[in-house]
Amino acid sequence: MIQRLQSLWLLLAACCLSVCFFAPLAQYEASMPNTGQHVETRLDLVSRMAPDMHRQLLDGVETLQYSQKMSGFKVWPLTVLVAACAIGSLACIFLFRNRKIQMRMVAVVFMLNVVVVLLVFLWAVDGYADALATRDMTNISTSWHFSAFMPIVSLALLFLAQRGIRLDEAKVRAADRLR
């Protein structure tokens, strides 16, 4: 049945992962020593040309909005994995007729989600800061956004869904033994 609690967990996991496409993973502030400009940029899964189209003044220093495309840092592997996890979570909802396949599919999505978490925290955020450093930027400070932690929330929701599917399978097996 599609009205099971694990269907809700799977839907919430897909929603958590889709938040990553609309909010930045991290925000960066840096300075360019040769021009004295203050630079602001952010790491998005879907890069935007310029996060904010206007220039602003910060402590009397011109603030330049730096585009992710200008850095040359590619996040498409992470984008593909997050999309695969979100689509996989949604697909698992409709596999309710075959719980064994549903359990396997949730396990695969869980493992892909672990890879996403590792890529976000070990590769993407530090890699983008390194890409900024190669563009002669100094004093790079990173601030994490909530969307960087959404894959972790999704992991917990996928775990709850897997547990619910196992409990349903145990109930069905117990009912079959009674017959």
Tell me what pLDDT residue 60 has. Answer: 47
pLDDT digits (tens, 9 = 90+) for 79-138: 999 999 999 999 999 998 898 999 999 999 999 999 999 999 888 888 877 777 777 777
- Under a CB-based contact definition with an 8 Å cutoff, are residues 73 and 127 in contact? yes
Q: What is the mean pLDDT of residues 12-22?
A: 94
pTM of the complete model? 0.82
In the 8-state DSSP scheme, what is residue 98? -
Strand runs labelled E in 55-148: 56-58, 61-65, 138-144
Chain centre to alpha carbon of residue 99: 27
Each residue of 55-66: pLDDT tens digit? Answer: 444 444 455 556
Of all residues in the chain, what percent carry a pLDDT higher than 70?
83
Residue with tokens 């890409």: 131
- The predicted pLDDT at position 19 comes to 94
Q: Does 38 score more than 80 pLDDT? A: no
